[in-house]
Amino acid sequence: MTPLDRALEAAARARVTLILGTSDTGKTSLTARLAGALAARGERVAVVDADVGQSEIGPPTTVGLGHVAGAVARLGDAEVIALEFVGDTSPVRYIRETADATGRLVRRALDAGFERVLVDTGGLVEGPLGLALKRAKVRAADPDLVLVLQRSDESEPIARALERDVRPRVVRLAPSPAVVRRSAARRREHRERALRDYLAHAATLTLPTARAPVRDRRGEALTDVAEGLLLGVLGAGGETLGIARVRAWDAARGCIVVDTPVPAEQIAALVAGRATWRA
């Protein structure tokens, strides 16, 4: 039985499956193949993309929820259902926020009646921060199954810790030999390309801050933000509609100028993260 067959057999019996492993072990490719295979069986399949730095569903700085209705070449082909703005491309600065966003989107998918929910995670698994991040995501997602992709024993500390409890079930898999390792520079290029593609059809909007207030993640009002800062764009219900890039802050006119594909009339508020991008 191939690793894909083992993964599919296990995921077909689990409502929530979380895929875990270090960078360049093929987590995202496996998630896409599993989602397509489960959908081909007639299952309603959702994917939560919790890799805020190398996002496929939604732009970087967000956790995304997508619907996969059939075979997909990549997770980016999923239909985007919802986003959660975290505010950074490195989850270690927002461990709790990233985990909470992941958990909320898993619950949203289950409440919507999806029969299989797959959670794709980032590649940080080692060291105290990696362990803390993965434990937080596992607690928030509450999976029935964790698929651990590893070349040797790099994910063993978290795998063994999970096996101490009755659930989730843990299945270890070897990465595909076709997986190509990427340098930090290649990862940065991927992230910048994703942001460039997302903002390719953005409009430049001048928004009165009295109508669309700018706040930090704690909800405190801001009176200035730097050019290039990435913002979460929120709707009237506080839901994340997308992201925006700051062009300028015009304090004299009480306006902020941003690039975003979200229509101006839908924007109720903006929330500042930590990530910047200067195209």
pLDDT at 234: 98
The 10s digit of each residue's pLDDT in 261-273 is 999 999 999 999 9
The answer to whether the 3-181 and 201-276 domains have the same CATH topology is no
Name the residue ranges covered by the structural domains of the chain. Answer: 3-181, 201-276
**CB atoms near residue 243 (< 10 Å):** 31
Predicted confidence (pLDDT) at residue 24 exceeds the cutoff of 90: no
Residue 19: strand pairing partners = 120, 147
Residue 277 CA to residue 279 CA, distance in Å, equals 6
Are 42 and 201 spatial neighbours (Cβ–Cβ below 8 Å)?
A: no
pLDDT value for 132: 80
For residues 114 and 81, is the Cβ–Cβ distance under 8 A? no
Condensed to tens digits (0 to 9), the pLDDT of residues 144-162 reads 999 999 988 888 888 898 8
Q: For residue 123, is pLDDT > 80?
A: no
Q: Residue 58 carries which DSSP code?
A: S
Give the count of alpha carbons within 13 A of 199, CB side only. 23
Indicate the range of 20-34, 124-138, 252-266 predicted with least confidence.
124-138
Distance CA 22, CA 107 (A): 25
260 DSSP β-pair partners: 203
Q: Please give the Cα distance from 25 to 178 (Å, whole number).
A: 10
pLDDT tens by residue, 200-259 = 999 999 999 999 999 998 899 998 899 999 999 999 999 999 999 999 999 889 999 999
pTM to 2 decimal places:
0.94
pLDDT at 2: 82
Average pLDDT, the chain: 91
Q: Which of 175 and 17 is assigned the larger pLDDT?
A: 17
8 A C-beta contact, residue 24 and residue 181? yes
pLDDT of residue 151: 86
pLDDT band at residue 142, thresholds of 50, 70 and 90? very high
Q: Say if residue 91's pLDDT is above 90.
A: no
Q: Which CATH superfamily is domain 201-276 in?
A: Pre-mRNA cleavage complex subunit Clp1, C-terminal domain (2.40.30.330)
Indicate the CATH number for domain 3-181. 3.40.50.300
pLDDT-derived band of residue 134, with 50, 70 and 90 as boundaries? confident
Span 15-22, average pLDDT: 93
- Taking the C-alpha atoms of residue 87 and residue 217, their distance in angstroms, rounded to an integer, is 8
Q: How far apart are CA 52 and CA 59, in angstroms?
A: 8
Q: Whole-angstrom Cα distance, residue 163 to residue 177?
A: 27
